[in-house]
Amino acid sequence: MSALLDQFGRRIEYLRISVTDRCNFRCSYCMPLEGLPWLPKADILTYEEIAEVVRQLAPMGLRRVRITGGEPTIRPQLSTLVRLLRATPDVEDIALSTNGVRLPELASELAEAGLDRINMSSDSLKSDRIAAIARRDLRFDPIAAASAAQDAGLAPIKLNVVVMRGINDDEVLDFARLTLERPWHVRFIELMPVGEMAMLSDAHVVPSEEVLARIGAAFGPLEPTAGPARGNGPAAYHRLPGGVGTVGVITPMTHTYCGSCNRVRLTADGRLRTCLFGDHEVDLRTPLRAGIPLAPFVRRALAEKPEAHALLARRVGGLRALSQVGG
């Protein structure tokens, strides 16, 4: 088996797959209220095409995939893709990033198709605040959604919270408290300069050190701990005294974790993006549909993968760049 290595010797084994650029939320830090010009349907990779990309990358060292969007669960028959990915030799782990709205109805079906685990975005536990942040009132209960995933056997369950000062940072302790009785992994993410928050984020960023200090003051000293058995992402994890789950922090604004990056991203329209917050990409859809092997294009992309993301320099590629690669 060959290895997928970038120009800095980092082993790439993780592919994030955007299956749609659309979303049923309009979160202020991600997408304008009116949405974006959606990609033409003909440009979107079919499930079979996505599976073929994974099939060709697996012998090169790909081991883990994550299905993202937009919001991936709004694309019909998502379990079809999960089954195709599950049938791919050498793929060891299939995850889903979702806002959770459709988990109560889909969790069991996705688990039966072969999905292993979920990451669920949840920026509030209050229904009115969820509607305000998402700018959509979908009567969403994040606890019920995560519980449905747990009941379906999906594990580990990670809840991702973008902490915004003056907007939802008063709920940090409520989220942390969930880990006392539930085996969930609550991850607090520093606000990043994208979407409508690009010009305001400095005022709204809550550094991870402050988040952990608040939790420690309320619950007692936190114990640094290993993360979930599956998934080795950028979070640093801690356990509350007596907790069964963990709290984690993801720090794109105050610390870099690019040195251990092991992932690339496939956009909904078939471009391989080597950094979520960069501009570099290589078209895979054209050779894929022409029946041309993808390996040379993938290796060329990795040879140009940047050493670090451009967030801190505010050189982000914009809303379209973010929306097409998923969370």
Strand, coil or helix: 319:
helix
CA distance 165 to 178: 21
H or E segment to which residue 203 belongs: helix 201-204
Q: In this predicted structure, what is the pLDDT of residue 232?
A: 54
Distance (Å, whole) CA 237 – CA 246: 6
Pairwise CA distance, residues 5 & 261, whole Å: 11
Q: What is the pLDDT of residue 201?
A: 56
Look at residue 44 in the predicted model and tell me its pLDDT. Answer: 96
- What confidence score (pLDDT) does residue 311 get? 55
Mean pLDDT by 10-residue block, N- to C-terminus, for the chain (327 residues)?
Answer: 73 92 73 69 96 96 94 96 97 96 96 97 90 79 96 96 93 98 94 57 83 97 83 79 95 61 90 81 97 95 74 41 36
pLDDT score of 326: 37
Per-residue burial over 4-34, b = 16 or more CB atoms within 10 Å of its CB, e = otherwise:
bbbeeebebbbbbbbbbbbbbbbbbbbbeee
Q: Return the closest-CA partner of residue 195 out of 98, 278, 97, 319.
A: 319
SS3 per-residue string spanning 48-110: HHHHHHHHHHHHHCCCEEEEECCCHHHCCCHHHHHHHHHCCCCCCEEEEEECCCCHHHHHHHH
- What pLDDT score was predicted for residue 156? 95
**Among the listed residues 274, 260, 266, the one whose alpha carbon sits nearest the alpha carbon of residue 302:** 274
Residues 316 and 253: beta-carbon distance below 8 Å? no
CA 139 – CA 59 distance, rounded (Å)? 44
Asked: is 14-323 a CATH 1.10.357.10 domain? The reply is: no
- Expressed in percent and rounded to 5, the helix, strand and coil fractions of the chain are 35, 20, 45
Locate the domains of the chain by residue range: 14-323
Q: pLDDT tens-digit profile of 87-141?
A: 999 999 999 999 999 999 999 999 999 999 999 999 899 988 888 877 777 788 9
